[in-house]
Amino acid sequence: MLLGVAGAQVPERLSEADVRHLLGRTGFAPSPAEVAPWVGMTPAAAVDRLLAQAEVATPRHPAPAFTAEPVHVPYGQLPDEAARRQARVRDRADTRALSTWWLVEMRESPTPLTERMTLFWHNHFATSEQKVRQPQGMYVQHLLFRRYALGSFRDLLQAVARDPAMLVWLDGGSNRAKAPNENFAREVMELFALGEGHYTEADVREAARAFSGWGVRRTDWQATFQPRQFDTGPKTLFGVTARYDMGSALDHILAQPASARFIVDKLWREFVSPTPDLRVAGRAAAELRANGWRTSAALRVLLLSDPFWAPATRGVLVKSPVELAVGTLRQFDLALDDFGPVEALTGRLGQDLFQPPNVKGWTGYTAWIDGATLLERKRFTERVFLALENGAGMMADGARRGRLGPARVAFDAGGWLRPLGAWPDREPDAATASRLQAAVLPVPPVNPVPAGTVGLPYLRAMTLDPAYQLK
């Protein structure tokens, strides 16, 4: 149980602080302009609107040009090492272009919950271009996560199992009846659908047989089923014997009692707090099953629960590098002419999109911050506001990726401050300072802003406070 939460916590109507909490957890840190339309709504109406908008959202910008090109020739079919080296350089550049495109989508999307859920599934089904070696295939998988962002987890799991990038990543393409490969079977149980302790080694072996026969046709990046490579024999999975294939085996895995709670607990740790509430999580799991495995049904329960709204759960999660970077740009309505430095920053802070560290994905929470990354996080917001104060371009953070020029950053300080009762050239009084802090930080600041600080330096000081790393 979540300690320190007692009594009804869900507000009758949303205050500014409530809206910032809801939008900050389901998207990225919102600007005052984003907050205003939601104030005064009931929580149920607000959550239903968020979910409905996210389910029909589409990208605002065309994907990078390489995604529409013919599928790249696999490295192994290239004539020599020089050609392979050139292909690797091209693929790294394409992956960076894809990451940058997605960051722009996150920054500008009117439905940031769509982006957050797409990022959630990217981490849940962690797949890396470093092994797939096909950025076009990573884009195909990305569209899959986007399509099922809040839809049926069952349908998403079935689709991911047949996704060419996943077949390459977990060696499903080399799983044959006479030489079964257990990698996907093991991870689908441990990391995707059940969790440790809810399956046996025998279940892994039998599931691997059920998943045999699939391959990847790399000439057009399609998953193919090869009947002669499929194990047609009976398999015993979780004590039930049948002639399972991929579809029926995955459905049987989801039928296990632990599966719905496993998904709900991951959603809880992403959107609510580090420790799931047993009662609420159990109710969300029941709703997940009752509504055809629709993720939106489970998430609605979590977002309308007392623990989500309790003061004890506000500011208890740590922003990921992507949330920090994109949230800063959204929160202050900052405009950039080049997102290359942002893509470089998130990678330097440990979150290279399309290149998670391993099959378990990014650990998240407190693992995001250590002595080095905390300094780099603070350096990011400090450089942004110093660039604005000095009227200069933003730091050339993209240099690590081969980008040379600095990005230009623009901010309407007066337009941002005045609706909060503050002014670019005037020190805020106590009431205004409190409102400013609430608009920037999820919890009260750890350190007081020095007396005499005004305008942009005031905002910079708040982003340097440890509380700014939380959500």
pLDDT one-digit tens code per residue, 358-371: 999 999 999 999 99
- Alpha carbon distance 369, 355 (integer Å): 19
Tell me, what DSSP letter sits at residue 222?
E
Collapsing DSSP to helix, strand or coil, 123 comes out as helix
Q: Quick one: CA torsion of 178, 182, 185, 188, rounded to 10 degrees?
A: -150
At 54, list the tokens: 């996210």
Q: Render pLDDT for 222-252 as a digit per residue (tens, 0 to 9).
A: 999 999 999 999 999 999 999 999 999 999 9
pTM value? Answer: 0.96
- Residue 7: pLDDT band (50, 70, 90) is low
Burial (CB < 10 A; 0-12, 13-18, 19+), residue 464, is: middle
pLDDT, position 406: 67
**CA nearest neighbour of 231 among 210, 203, 204, 248:** 210
At 38, list the tokens: 């939601």
pLDDT, position 433: 96
Domain spans in the chain, listed from the N-terminal domain onward: 321-469
pLDDT above 70 covers a percentage of the chain that reads: 95
**CA nearest neighbour of 323 among 113, 90, 55, 50:** 113
Place of tokens 């607000």: 46
Within 153-239, strands assigned E span 214-217, 222-225, 235-237
Cβ atoms of 121 and 145 within 8 Å: the answer is yes
Tell me, what DSSP letter sits at residue 244?
-
pLDDT, position 272: 98
**CA nearest neighbour of 293 among 270, 262, 271, 314:** 262
Tell me which amino acid residue 402 is.
Answer: G
Cβ atoms of 161 and 124 within 8 Å: the answer is no
Q: Residue 384: how many CA atoms within 13 Å on its side-chain side?
A: 29
pLDDT, position 44: 98
Within 159-274, strands assigned E span 214-217, 222-225, 235-237, 240-242
Residue partners of 220: CB distance under 8 A and separation at least 6: 71
Residue partners of 414: CB distance under 8 A and separation at least 6: 423, 424
Q: Which of 22-36, 217-231, 259-273, 390-404 has the lowest mean pLDDT?
A: 390-404
Burial (CB < 10 A; 0-12, 13-18, 19+), residue 399, is: middle
pLDDT, position 8: 74
Q: Which of 72-86, 381-395, 423-437 has the lowest mean pLDDT?
A: 381-395
